[in-house]
Amino acid sequence: MSEKSAKYVDPKDSVPARLDTYANWQKEQGIPIVRGFFVDDINALEVKPWALKGVNGCFVYLDGCGTVNDAYVLELPPGAKTAPQKHMYEELVYVTKGHGATTVWQDGGAKHTFEWGEGSVFAIPLNANYQHFNTSGSPTRYYAMTNASFMMNLFHNNDFIFNCPYSFEDRFSREAQDYFKGEGEIFGRFFMTTNFIPDMRTIGLRDYGERGKGSTNMKFDLAKSTMTAHVSEFPVGTYKKAHRHGPGAHVIILSGQGYSTLWKDGEEPKTVYWKPGSVVVPPDKWFHQHFNSGATPARYLAFRWNSWRFKSVMKNEEQANETFTSLKQGGSQIEFEDEDPAVHEHFVSQITKAGASCNMCDYYPHCGKKKVAAE
């Protein structure tokens, strides 16, 4: 086609609006969409009938998702079941309330059913068939992170997303046995491969002092997904080092109480106060820092992109080490000795209200507790 024969729709020097396949699909679902960068309580979110799933749900599409992933909440009434599902995007699930079961199968293969309860985490194998069941006498609810936004905008063809016949046998074989049994294998210090964790709130963790005093961690490869999860716990009277990274890290509070500060470089920090069931998703390249201001250990689960096992397009090897490398060495982490003294002062005021004591004196050089001990 020549320039002369091309049809000019708009003679002005304007840029055509870009199509967002995911946003259009999301709007068509007709359910609430939660925005911002913080959810106070997953179990308190409003849910409405979702025809696709066959039960009530809502989207959680916070600012920090950055189009690389999204989340949704689903609630199943007593005895209810979802409509059978199958899709060309990955999904990680955390059960926030109740008990039930899930059946997963490949076309032409045997069905695998496993039971779950509050605190359970599992992954849906890519493009496998599945269906959830509430086997209890009370409502169940779960929070799921997916990469639907990335995949829908990549292919911009939702018939392919929901009706692709291909079975990923390398991820979930028709002949699989005990796929969701809950057993795992640990590599190195804290890298676990598994498909089901019965209760993420109680699973054993390994030392992760790089992020702060007494910090422990475990990182998961779930169903050979390119997405991943990790769980971290920090003791009473401590907090994490501030750091920043790309979008799409969903931090779900499992236990304890505290707060997180988030800020864009050069701007004033925003503070959110959390408890079990809260979710915070830091926006792209915003610094953020987590504080345990309660009287018990605090534990959180993070769903995010970039599996430790499978390389993806979201991060290269150099970037993978940035989050625990000091800013002074070209990384993305602020060391305790480099943070504003007001950060520690506010923490001490908050933890005193909870009747607990600061335990940062061995790590924070200007800790008032250390000064008192020296005197």
**Mean local confidence (pLDDT), 339-365:** 89
In degrees, rounded to 5, the angle at the alpha carbon of residue 210 between the alpha carbons of residues 38 and 266 is: 50
324-333 residue pLDDT tens: 788 888 888 9
Quick check: 322 pLDDT over 90?
Answer: no
Two structure tokens written together for 335: 């060391």
Quick check: 300 pLDDT over 60?
Answer: yes
Two structure tokens written together for 239: 């907090």
Please, where are the H alpha helices in 227-357? 317-320, 341-353
For 125, phi then psi, to 5°, come to -60, 140
Q: What is the pTM of this model?
A: 0.90
Q: How far is 253 from 309, CA to CA, in rounded Å?
A: 25
Q: Are 294 and 257 in contact (CB under 8 A)?
A: yes
Radius of gyration of the chain from Cα atoms?
22
Q: How far is 249 from 75, CA to CA, in rounded Å?
A: 23
In degrees, rounded to 5, the angle at the alpha carbon of residue 22 between the alpha carbons of residues 168 and 51 is: 80
For 12, residues 6+ apart whose C-beta sits below 8 A from its C-beta are: none
Quick check: 310 pLDDT over 90?
Answer: no
Give CA separation, 315 vs 115, 211, 245, 370, in Å: 34, 20, 10, 40
Angle between helices 148-155 and 21-28 (to 10 degrees): 120
Q: What single string gives the DSSP state of each residue in 33-102?
A: EE-SSEES-GGGS--EEETTTTEEEEEE--GGGTTT-EEEEEEE-TT-BPPPB--SS-EEEEEEE--EEE
Helix H, strand E, coil C: the string for 138-193 is CCEEEEEEECHHHHHHHHCCHHHHHHCCCCCCCCCCCCCCCCCCCCCEEECCCEEE
Two structure tokens written together for 288: 């953020």
For the chain, report the end-to-end CA distance as a whole number of angstroms.
Answer: 84
Q: How far is 244 from 269, CA to CA, in rounded Å?
A: 13
Two structure tokens written together for 194: 């598994």
277-296 residue pLDDT tens: 999 999 999 999 999 999 99
**Mean local confidence (pLDDT), 177-202:** 84
The pLDDT-based confidence of 318 (bands split at 50, 70, 90) is very low
Q: Are 225 and 195 in contact (CB under 8 A)?
A: no
124-138 residue pLDDT tens: 999 999 999 999 999
CATH, range 21-163: 2.60.120.10
3-33 residue pLDDT tens: 566 666 666 667 778 899 999 999 999 999 9
Q: Report pLDDT for 316.
A: 45
Domain range summary for the chain, segments of one domain joined by +: 21-163, 185-314+331-353
Same fold yes or no, 21-163 and 185-314+331-353: yes
Q: How far is 106 from 114, CA to CA, in rounded Å?
A: 15
Class of domain 185-314+331-353: mainly beta
